[in-house]
Amino acid sequence: MTSRPLIGITTQTLEAIPGELPRCWVMSQRYVDVLTSVGALPWVIPLTRDMTTLREIYDRLDGVFLPGGVDMEPESYREARLPVCGATDADRDRVEIALVRWAMAERKPLLAVCRGVQVLNVAAGGSLYQDLQHWTGDPIKHDYWPSDGHHRDDLVHEIRVEEGTQLAAIMGAGTSIVNSMHHQGIKALASALVPNAYAPDGLIEGVEGRDDGYLLGVQWHPEELVESDRAARRLFESFIEAAAAHEPEVAAR
């Protein structure tokens, strides 16, 4: 019997429904299904306020996966909240920022998608555009929401994967078309990260770490494309391969 790498998947708060439900922690089954399909043993992470418990969960993981979701609280990147900022989840911000910082310190494999790449950038010291329509310049459309009649796997704009990056080694360099469901994006890039993909308007669409560890984030939703796009599936496979090969490192907490 082979051992499958244990992958932590963060959750999001579902606020209480008076008289029916207390606050809940939820996350799309899609992430669990895709990670399971490439060999992971998924572990859904609660947004506990007990940091000792969170650290013990983290220590048992072979890799961390950050999924999509609501906006980040601007306070987390030292900016005042603007009216264009949407719903946030302070508990999720706190848990995910801690997980990213621990993983970066110990070179534990981490893969982030959509909101996840934004969390990765903020945790490493970067900032975000609270709404891309307020970006000076000429932004293309990035917010193709299913609520507006789009499908989650609609291929809607190009990206360019940079030569010589880890992402290029996994998915191939050059241009491709991706799905896009976000209104925020990377503003100031954290110094510990390098861009590995761009949209036609210049927005950073992917980042990775500066060393040879597995630290990757993309702004689109590859989990929706794994059945139709070999490169998207390869991204998840490479993450699980890195997690399976990871050997824990001791770092100061």
Catalytic residues: 114, 221, 223
Task: Please check whether residue 110 is in contact with residue 66, taking contact to mean a CB–CB distance below 8 angstroms.
Answer: yes
Q: Which of 88, 97, 98 is closest to 122 using CA atoms?
A: 97
Q: Which of 9, 223, 225, 219 is closest to 114 using CA atoms?
A: 219
Q: Which of 82, 92, 73, 84 is closest to 14 using CA atoms?
A: 92
Dihedral sign, Cα of residue 94, residue 135, residue 219, residue 86: positive
Task: Please check whether residue 138 is in contact with residue 201, taking contact to mean a CB–CB distance below 8 angstroms.
Answer: yes
CB atoms within 10 A of CB 46: 14
Q: Which of 153, 85, 86, 93 is closest to 123 using CA atoms?
A: 93
Cα–Cα distance, 54 to 77 (Å, whole number): 22
